Structure 1
Amino acid sequence: MEAKQGTSAMIAIAFIPIVMVLGNSMLVPVLPTMQKELDLSQFQTSLTITVFSLAAGIIIPLVGYLSDRFGRKWVIVPSLIVYGIGGIISGMAAWLMENSYAAILGGRIIQGIGAAGTAPIAMALIGDLYSGAQESKALGIIESSNGMGKILSPIIGSAIALITWFTVFFTFPILCFAVAAYVWFGVKEKKKPEGQPLPEYLGALKQIFKNKGRWLIPAFFVGATGLFILFGVLFYLSDILEETYKVDGILKGAILSIPLFGMVVTAYITGAKLKQNKPLTRRLMLIGLTILTGAMIAVAFFKQIYLMIGLLTLGSIGIGLSLPCINVLVTGAVEKAERGMITSLYGSVRFLGVAFGPPIFSWLMKISHKTVFFSVAGLSFVILLSTFFFIKPGARNQGGAAKEHGPGTLFRKSEKAPT
């Protein structure tokens, strides 16, 4: 009976990141049409993605504390409802208002506030419900479902836009309200968290970053950079397909899904194979970031569409290797009482990566194709070096004890690290 409940809970939780990524990924193929219909600049169009992600990034630390204090479901379910309401506001504005751009951005900000309490809190919930190999596998499933949402959303967005471009906004509330009900009834939290007063809570977080910040902060930025590159590339590819190759509609959505498919499959396999193996975690991160850096360098030399798609898919595979590893390290870094805040801070920097991807790529695109991808390759190389020098699970000091700042405490006291 417990296994069945566990499976039901996992399915319910897996839907949360799918809904979250629809908030941005489903709009990507619609942005060129929106730009023409509302007579916007490319930068204004990119802000549709940016304000959503910025709002989420700012609010996430607050909802992380609330989830630690009051429980994960009590944050996730209301957040999904707010997310859906924001979609209704943007959709109604685009439908009924003549000058709707500002109101659409307002609805997107509300959606971002709702999105703050979705996938980052779902990661903390995974850490509460599962442990050991089950936890790493569940986190791999979460990252894969996140990617699956990214795969499906360009196709869904392109198909829905055949009705009219703003129909995508009305899709959000339908999905959000359904998933909110599923999570509420399908997930049973083990027990209500023992919430700490805010001063004690902030003191505990300060101690965590004092002890583990040397590896935890670089780990955060690996995740943020991966999503910065992913969404920037999608924005770039969407624009190139429509403006240069005149590819639109469902076909464009399907092409945008190809790199994402590579990431999803890789993330699922990686999560299933990790099993809290710390040396393997670091090795796969380094391999993934090396692949990403090499792919971005290579694509700088080619503008032929088939080669570009192939190389961008290879880069996405590198991201798919890295992200589940970061998820395992971050989720396992702390005890349950502070886990919501830590995963939320991680989610916050991921959202900020998504927020800055499209506008920065939009700016770089005005310079040249090579500028875009050499810049991205340089950034990827920096986080590769950061991972190599700072993220060292199981590192030892001179006395032979595990360093406090390394993720040697990945396994909680009640768990035994695999041999």
Structure 2
Amino acid sequence: MSNTMQRPSPLAVAAIGSVPLIMTLGNSMLIPVLPAMKSALHLSQFQVSLTITVFSVTAAVFIPIFGYLSDRFSRKAVMLPALFLYGAGGLLAGLAASAFAHAYMWVLVGRALQGIGAAGTAPIAMALTGDLFQGKEESRVLGLVEASNGFGKVLSPIVGSLIALLAWYGVFFAFPAFCLLSVILVWVCIKEKKERKEPPPFRNYVHGLATVFHREGRWLLTAYLAGAVCLFTLFGMLFYLSDVLEKQYGIDGVKKGLILAIPLLAMCTTSYTTGAKIGRRQRLMKTLIVTGFSLMTASYAALVFPSRLVPFLLVLALGGIGTGLVLPCINSFITNAVGKERRGFVTSLYGSVRFLGVAAGPPVFGRLMDWSKAGMFWSVAALTLLVGVLALTMIRVDGSGRQPGGKPNRGRRLGDDDLNELLPSGGGLL
């Protein structure tokens, strides 16, 4: 890859940023309407949580497949059909909720289709950012990608609440419109570099990935866990807050959406600022990751004590700031873990564990809410403390241009030449 730094076109950055924005809408926009869906379709708390879980689990399963396909062919060749499928799944869910018999099952089918479509969106956008930009510009655009993700989470509850004033199932019909806008931006504004190099056979591709994880697995798995826990706690807390606002405080509609946006706005603002400042300074990134998990631990432990809404939201916003410190740094570490040849798969696997975190959040928090509110907060605080300690001990950096795992790379990402030296005889890459 050339060392010449490409200046990002504003339209190209907007196109890349639109993809995680659309993906975020898939879950966050539904959060405010879940109680109305539960009432209209006569669902249990567990059944309504499945509309989040089915989307996220399906996405998690298909993300590695789309990651490989994006490495094999091109990022746009995966992203564009995925966006169409995402919109089609929303349309099916909306039609089912408004007109179909056995609406709930068809809503789940539509959500599963949306999950498949989501698998080819945000993780591929991260890989595309690594392909197109380098150095500080890459970190800045990755920060914008995470901020776009967070901005989508901020807007989603408000937009979902506004649409629900017309009909609770109206949020499903909004997905195709948003997807169409993103499709146009990606199609017109993203110009991928055309390379004549033939992709490696699948067997050698898998050997290369195995070598990457053998060499860098300890810190990569820690980074994956960190991303999953951030999304698990975020969506679990939103699920809890949505339920409490309606049941305990009688707050619904747009006001509820605005309140749900408060911790998300803290996360979004912090993500944007972090991405703009970190550059390629790995030591700083590790410090921010550990600091972020410390803030999350303090926030979730302190949530046991506030009995009034405003102090509760302020403490919860502190956790949002911690999440905003962690995610852009994890994104940068993972995007730079390997060369372009396998970046799609490695970033997509990261996307999978993030989606699994989202999928686990609502049902796990629902069970914990039934068990003990204090126990829920203490358990989550213990989890974030554990992951923070793992990040402190497993992610190793120094000042000599090394990878996070401590392997020298002389300023380069792990690429085919590095992997050929490590593969068994006869298993080298083309």
Question: TM-score, normalised to structure 1's length?
Answer: 0.95
Structure 1 residue aligned with 2:70: 67
Given that 1:91 and 1:167 are in contact with CA atoms closer than 8 Å, whether structure 2 keeps it comes out as yes
Given that 1:53 and 1:112 are in contact with CA atoms closer than 8 Å, whether structure 2 keeps it comes out as yes
Given that 1:332 and 1:410 are in contact with CA atoms closer than 8 Å, whether structure 2 keeps it comes out as no
Given that 1:395 and 1:408 are in contact with CA atoms closer than 8 Å, whether structure 2 keeps it comes out as no
Structure 2 residue aligned with 1:412: 412
Moved more, 300-309 or 30-39: 300-309
How far apart are 1:307 and its partner, in Å? 1.4
Matched, 1:321 2:328: no
How far apart are 1:393 and its partner, in Å? 1.7
Equivalent position amino acid for 2:312 in 1: M
Give me the whole-angstrom Cα distance separating, in 2, the residues matched to 1:113 and 1:18.
16
Q: Show structure 2 runs of 5+ residues with no match.
A: 415-430
Q: Show structure 1 runs of 5+ residues with no match.
A: 415-419
Which structure 1 residue ranges, 4+ long, deviate > 4 Å from structure 2? 2-5, 401-404, 407-411
Structure 2 residue aligned with 1:50: 53
Give me the whole-angstrom Cα distance separating, in 2, the residues matched to 1:3 and 1:197.
30
Matched, 1:23 2:30: no
Q: SS in structure 2 opposite 1:40?
A: coil
Residue by residue over 1:44-96, the C-alpha shift from the partner in whole angstroms, topping out at 9 and shown as x without a partner, is 11110000000000000000000001000000010000000000110010011
Given that 2:127 and 2:344 are in contact with CA atoms closer than 8 Å, whether structure 1 keeps it comes out as yes
How far apart are 1:98 and its partner, in Å? 3.4
Give me the whole-angstrom Cα distance separating, in 2, the residues matched to 1:356 and 1:90.
22
Structure 2 residue aligned with 1:371: 375
Q: SS in structure 2 opposite 1:303?
A: coil
Moved more, 144-153 or 178-187: 178-187
Number of residues of Structure 1 aligned to a counterpart in Structure 2: 409
Given that 1:333 and 1:407 are in contact with CA atoms closer than 8 Å, whether structure 2 keeps it comes out as no
**Equivalent residue runs for 1:113-262 within 5 Å:** 113-192=116-195, 194-262=198-266
Q: 2:291 aligns with which of 287, 290, 293?
A: 287
Equivalent position amino acid for 2:101 in 1: E
Equivalent position amino acid for 1:243 in 2: K
Over aligned residues, Cα RMSD in angstroms?
A: 1.8
Moved more, 299-308 or 110-119: 299-308
Given that 2:402 and 2:411 are in contact with CA atoms closer than 8 Å, whether structure 1 keeps it comes out as no
**Equivalent residue runs for 1:254-403 within 5 Å:** 254-394=258-398
**Equivalent residue runs for 1:88-103 within 5 Å:** 88-103=91-106
How far apart are 1:403 and its partner, in Å? 7.9
Cα gap change, 1:237/1:10 in structure 2, threshold over 3 Å: closer, same or farther? same
Cα gap change, 1:4/1:402 in structure 2, threshold over 3 Å: closer, same or farther? closer
Residue by residue over 1:338-358, the C-alpha shift from the partner in whole angstroms, topping out at 9 and shown as x without a partner, is 000000000000000000000
Give me the whole-angstrom Cα distance separating, in 2, the residues matched to 1:249 and 1:269.
31
Moved more, 185-194 or 54-63: 185-194
Moved more, 22-31 or 196-205: 196-205
Equivalent position amino acid for 1:161 in 2: A
Moved more, 191-200 or 220-229: 191-200
Q: 2:37 aligns with which of 34, 38, 43?
A: 34
How far apart are 1:405 and its partner, in Å? 3.6
Q: Percent identity?
A: 49
Structure 1 residue aligned with 2:421: none
Q: 2:81 aligns with which of 61, 78, 81?
A: 78
Matched, 1:106 2:109: yes
Equivalent position amino acid for 1:350 in 2: R
Cα gap change, 1:129/1:366 in structure 2, threshold over 3 Å: closer, same or farther? same
Given that 1:53 and 1:351 are in contact with CA atoms closer than 8 Å, whether structure 2 keeps it comes out as yes
Given that 1:211 and 1:404 are in contact with CA atoms closer than 8 Å, whether structure 2 keeps it comes out as no
Give me the whole-angstrom Cα distance separating, in 2, the residues matched to 1:81 and 1:413.
33
Give me the whole-angstrom Cα distance separating, in 2, the residues matched to 1:410 and 1:136.
19
